[in-house]
C-alpha cells in the first residue's frame, strides 16, 4: 500500500529568461517582459510529494520533519531572495524557466531521499501558472 506525503514551501527569487547566444531582439521576441535585463521576481510556492510504502515500525512513509529539513536546505536556503541567474550555480548555463527550476528542485530533493521513495514536485510561479515534475 503506497501513500503520498506532501509538504508545501515558499521562496522569493528573481530571474531573467534569455539565452546568451541570442540577440536582445530575439530574446525579447521569445521571452517578452521576462527578458528584462534588470530581472523580475516571483513569489514561488512548491509542493513536494513523497510516495512510498508505510514503514510498519514508524507508521511513516517519510518523517515530515526530515522532508521539511531537506526542502529548507536544498530549496529555501539555496533559492530564497536570490537572483537565480547570478546566485544559483545550477542556473549558470541553464535558463531558469519554471520548467527548468522544477527539474532542478526535484533533483536536489530526490538526491536526499531513500531510493525506494518516489517524488513529485509542483512549482507555482504565480497562483495560476504552475509546473510539475515526477522523475
* Distance in angstroms (rounded) separating the CA atoms of residues 34 and 18: 8
**Residue 96 cell numbers, joined:** 531558469
- What is the DSSP code (8-state) at residue 54? P
Are 85 and 16 in contact by the 8 Å Cβ rule? The answer is: yes
Question: Is 25 noted as a catalytic residue in this protein?
Answer: no
The active-site residue, picked from 34, 90, 99, 120, is 34
Closest CA to 108 of 9, 37, 27: 9
34 is catalytic: yes
- Beta-carbon contacts of 46 under 8 Å, excluding residues fewer than 6 positions away, are 8, 9, 10, 11, 71, 75, 102, 105, 121, 122, 123, 124
Which of these is catalytic: 40, 74, 81, 120? Answer: 81
Using alpha carbons, select from 3, 9, 1, 16 the residue that is nearest to residue 105.
Answer: 9
**Does 99 qualify as catalytic in the annotation?**
no
Considering the candidates 42, 74, 106, 125, report the single residue annotated as catalytic.
Answer: 125
Tell me the catalytic residues: 34, 81, 125
Amino acid at each position: 500500500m503506497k501513500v503520498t506525503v506532501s509538504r508545501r514551501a515558499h521562496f522569493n527569487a528573481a530571474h531573467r529568461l534569455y539565452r546568451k547566444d541570442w540577440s536582445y531582439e530575439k530574446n525579447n521576441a521569445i521571452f517578452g517582459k521576462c527578458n528584462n535585463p534588470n530581472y523580475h521576481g516571483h513569489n514561488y510556492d512548491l509542493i513536494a510529494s513523497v510516495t512510498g510504502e508505510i514503514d510498519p515500525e514508524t507508521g511513516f512513509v517519510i518523517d515530515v520533519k526530515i522532508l521539511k529539513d531537506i526542502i529548507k536546505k536544498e530549496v529555501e536556503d539555496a533559492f530564497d531572495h536570490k537572483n537565480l541567474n547570478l546566485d544559483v550555480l545550477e542556473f549558470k548555463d541553464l535558463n531558469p524557466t519554471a520548467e527548468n527550476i522544477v527539474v532542478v528542485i526535484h533533483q536536489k530533493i530526490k538526491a536526499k531521499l531513500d531510493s525506494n521513495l518516489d517524488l513529485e514536485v509542483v512549482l507555482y510561479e504565480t497562483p495560476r501558472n504552475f509546473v510539475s515534475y515526477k522523475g
